Structure 1
Amino acid sequence: MVHFVGAGSGAVDLITVRGLNLLKNADVIIYAGSLVNKELLNYKKDDCVTYDSATMTLEQVIDVIKETEKKNQTTVRLHTGDPSIYGAIREQMDELDRLFISYQYCPGVSSFCGAASALNLEYTLPDVSQTVILTRMAGRTPVPEKESIEKLAAHQATMVIFLSTGMLKELTNRLLLGGYKEDTPAAIVYKATWPDEKKFVCTVKTLEQTARENDIKQTALIIVGDVLNCDYRRSDLYHPDFETQFRKARGNV
C-alpha cells in the first residue's frame, strides 16, 4: 500500500493524527525534501528507509515504490502542505493505477491555511469576499490563458498566489491590469507556520518593494484582497435575529 500524506504547512505538529500514524508505521518514506520539515522524519521507525524526492524523477519514485511493494511493505509519499495543491500527485497515482498498486490519500494543512493563521485572517468576509482564488503566475510551468492573473483579478475576490515571489513586478502589473487598485491591501507570508516565519502587510503597489527590502525571494505566499483591511458586516449565522435549525431567532423566542 502507498499512502500519499500531507505533511502540513511547516510546523511539525500540524501534520494530521492520521498522517503521523502512517508516518510512524511506514517501511519506506519518500519525502519532498526541498519543502517538507525534516523533523517529521524523527517519527519514523528505526529500520525505515527514506528517500528525498527533490533529487528524483517520477520514474525513480515509482521504481522505489515498486521495489517496496515486492517486499510487501508500506510506502508513505510525504508531500508538503496538502498534496492536492501543486503536489504533482495525479501523475503518480496514474502510474500506480497502471501497475495495479493500491494507494490512499491523507489530506494535510495547506500553506494557504497556514498563511491565514499567520495573519489572523478570514478569507471570506460578508459583503467583502465570499470567494478564494488559489493560483500562480506562469513561469517555467505554464498557466492556461483563461486563468491568467489579470483575468482572475477581475473577480476582485480574495487571491492567494503560490510560486510567484520571484516575479512580483510582473505580478503587480497583472493585478493592476485586472482591476485591483494600487492601494488594495496585500500581504507576503514567508514560510508560514515554520519557526522562521515572516509576514508583511503592504499594498499591491508595494509588493515588490516589500519583498526586496526584507530579502524575500521564494517560499512565500502572496495574499491580495480587501479582507486584509476593511469594514465588513457581521455574519448572519450567529446573529440573534437569524434563525437556524438549531436556534430560534430572537423575535421567535
Structure 2
Amino acid sequence: MAKVWFVGAGPGDPELITLKAQKLIADADAILYAGSLVSQAATQWAKTDCDIADSKGMTLDEITTWLIDKAQGDACVIRLQTGDPALYGALIEMVQPLDKAGVDVGVVPGVTSAMASAAAAVETLTLPEVTQTVIYSRVEGRTPMPEGESLLELARHHCTLCLYLSITLLKKVRHALLEAGWSEDAPVLVVHKASWPGEEQIVRGTVADIQQKCRDAKINAQAMIIISPTLGARHWPELKKSKLYDAGFSHRFRKAVRS
C-alpha cells in the first residue's frame, strides 16, 4: 500500500538524520524536499531511480498534489522537512488533503534547531534551581500570535526561550524582554544554520547588543535565538547539582550513601 512519510531531516547536518529516516530515504520511490531549508545532502541515500524534487517554489496545493500523484500502487513517498515535522512544519495542512484522498500517512521525528543550537554552543537549556522549563515560540510578524502567547507574556516566566523564525525581529525581541523584566546584559545566543557543515555561525551577545552583532555577522535568516538564565553556565564557579547523581540521593537503581 502506498504511504507518504513526513520525515524530519534535522537541523542541517545529514549525519543528524535518524536511522529510521535514512532507511526510508533509501527505500523511497519519490522524495519532495524543502530545498530552501533542507540540504540536498539529506537525499544522498536515495536510489538512483528515485524521483527527487525541490518544493521551494511550490504552493501548499502544489505540494499536496505532487505527494498524492506520487502515492500510487505500493509507492513509498517522502516529504523531507527541516528539523522536526511537528514544529513549524505545516504538517496538518499537508496531511488533511492526503486524508481526504485516502492516502496513508506516517511521521518520522527529527532533531530540531533548538537542540542543535544548544549543542553547537555547548549550552544546556535547563539547570536545577535555575530553570526547568523551555518555551519554543516565535515573534509575531505576518503570522499573528494566539491570545496569551505574545513574547512579552512568555518572557515574564524568565525561563529558557527558543525563538524560531524571528531573527529579523530582534528589535521586537529586545523591547519585549526588557518590558518583561530581563536586564540589558542578560545573555543571548544566536546560531545560524546550526550543524550545517562549513556554514554554522555562533553569535553570543546580550539583550542590548545582539541585534548589532547579528547585523555585523550578516545573519538575517535560518537562525535560532536562545534567551536563557542558563547561558554561560559552563563557566560558573558553582552549580546546583542534579539529584540523580547525588551520592546522598536514593533512587530505584542506587541507594544513598550516608556520610
- Superposition TM-score, scaled by structure 2 size: 0.94
Unaligned runs of 5+ in 2: none
Asked if structure 1 preserves the Cα contact closer than 8 Å seen for 2:6 and 2:78, the reply is: yes
1:213 to 216, 225, 234: 216
2:201 to 192, 198, 201: 198
1:235 to 229, 242, 246: 242
* Cα displacement (A) at 1:53: 1.4
The 2-side partners of 1:216 and 1:21 are apart by: 34
Tell me the residue number matched to 2:26.
24
The 2-side partners of 1:213 and 1:69 are apart by: 46
* Cα displacement (A) at 1:229: 2.5
Q: Percent identity?
A: 40
One-letter code aligned to 1:199: I
Unaligned runs of 5+ in 1: none
One-letter code aligned to 2:251: T
The 1-side partners of 2:225 and 2:119 are apart by: 14
Alignment map for 1:1-253 (pairs within 5 Å): 1-195=3-197, 196-230=199-233, 231=236, 232-251=239-258
Query: What is the aligned length?
Result: 252
* Cα displacement (A) at 1:9: 0.8
* 3-state SS, counterpart of residue 145 of structure 1: coil
* Cα displacement (A) at 1:28: 0.6
Runs of 4+ in 1 over 2 A off after TM superposition: 69-72, 229-232
The 2-side partners of 1:35 and 1:96 are apart by: 23
The 1-side partners of 2:152 and 2:4 are apart by: 39
Higher relative helix content? 1
One-letter code aligned to 2:95: M
* Cα displacement (A) at 1:72: 3.2
* 3-state SS, counterpart of residue 193 of structure 1: coil
* 3-state SS, counterpart of residue 43 of structure 1: coil
The 2-side partners of 1:70 and 1:76 are apart by: 13
The 2-side partners of 1:65 and 1:187 are apart by: 37
Asked if structure 1 preserves the Cα contact closer than 8 Å seen for 2:123 and 2:232, the reply is: no
* 3-state SS, counterpart of residue 251 of structure 1: coil
The 2-side partners of 1:179 and 1:102 are apart by: 48
The 1-side partners of 2:132 and 2:157 are apart by: 11
The 1-side partners of 2:36 and 2:159 are apart by: 31
Asked if structure 1 preserves the Cα contact closer than 8 Å seen for 2:8 and 2:82, the reply is: yes
One-letter code aligned to 2:245: Y
The 2-side partners of 1:117 and 1:200 are apart by: 14
* Cα displacement (A) at 1:180: 1.1
* 3-state SS, counterpart of residue 249 of structure 1: coil
One-letter code aligned to 1:248: K
* Cα displacement (A) at 1:71: 4.1
- Superposition TM-score, scaled by structure 1 size: 0.96
* 3-state SS, counterpart of residue 52 of structure 2: strand
* Cα displacement (A) at 1:69: 2.2
Structure 1 vs Structure 2 CA RMSD: 1.2
Asked if structure 1 preserves the Cα contact closer than 8 Å seen for 2:192 and 2:200, the reply is: yes
